[in-house]
Amino acid sequence: MKSLIIIIILISPACLGRETGETEITTTKGIEVFQDQKYYLLKENVNIVTDTFELSSDLVKAYFNLDLYDIIKIESIGNSKMKTAEGMNAKGEKINLSMEDEFIEIIGDNSSLIYNDIEMYSDDNIRINNMSGIFKIKGDNSELKTSSIHIFANSIDGKYETINNINEINELFVEDNIESNIQTSKINMFSKRAVYIKKNNEIELYDNVKIIRDNEIVTGDYANIDTLKESYKVSSKNSEKVKILIKKNDE
């Protein structure tokens, strides 16, 4: 079966390939247009290529403003993959895009979003507003990874900013009903809740705190970690609850 190819803003019938400013849409089962509701359906083996992003999926629902060319929102379902001109790569069962506020949502098992040196994974939901830099990762097997930190938790909220094409995380709010895990090159941290504020150069850990560094294991209710010096303070409401275990180094 031949594919249906639609070139939006088609310059010439003889035009070979997509040119700048055009959107190329390829499907194997065509298009259904719902003019009153202002959306259309693209069915089976859908591929969309624009100047700013490429998307493939089993089914795509595209919302438009004034006409078919004016896409303002996309909902894709089934084996969805997307990459942007800025270097963002996303994969999931569903991917939703909002063009106006640069909002992206990835849903389903083995969801992932990789943006330069920031990696996000979840079996539930990843949301990112590329305009504001605000993101949220939630659900089982949620994970955030950068060149300097690695986080595992059921809920990871944060904010990043892009400086000289490098994404830097400014804020992190981490929660897990059982235990979250934050890893740096020198410190391994566990707690139910954690807060990172870059301008303060600190990570705060709350509830069931455990810090592992070299041969030290320290536990308590609260910890404050200086991210520049990589030093820390651990405290507890009950003074007897703070414990330190130093393992013997056999080397």
List, in order of start, the domains of the chain with CATH numbers.
1-107 (no CATH), 119-251 (2.60.450.10)
> Residue 64's CB: how many other CB atoms inside 10 A?
16
> Residue 82's CB: how many other CB atoms inside 10 A?
22
The two tokens of residue 203 are 């990570």
pLDDT of residue 11: 31
pLDDT of residue 19: 74
Distance between CA atoms of residues 76 and 198, nearest Å = 35
pLDDT of residue 244: 58
pLDDT of residue 4: 43
Q: Global pTM? A: 0.86
Per-residue pLDDT of the chain (251 residues; tens, 9 = 90+): 344 444 333 333 334 466 777 788 889 988 888 888 889 899 999 999 888 899 999 999 999 887 776 789 999 999 999 999 888 999 999 999 998 888 999 999 999 999 988 999 999 999 999 889 999 999 999 999 998 899 999 999 999 988 877 888 999 999 999 999 999 988 999 999 999 999 999 999 999 999 999 889 999 999 999 988 888 899 887 655 665 555 555 55
The percent helix, strand, coil of the chain (3-state, each to 5) is 0, 65, 35
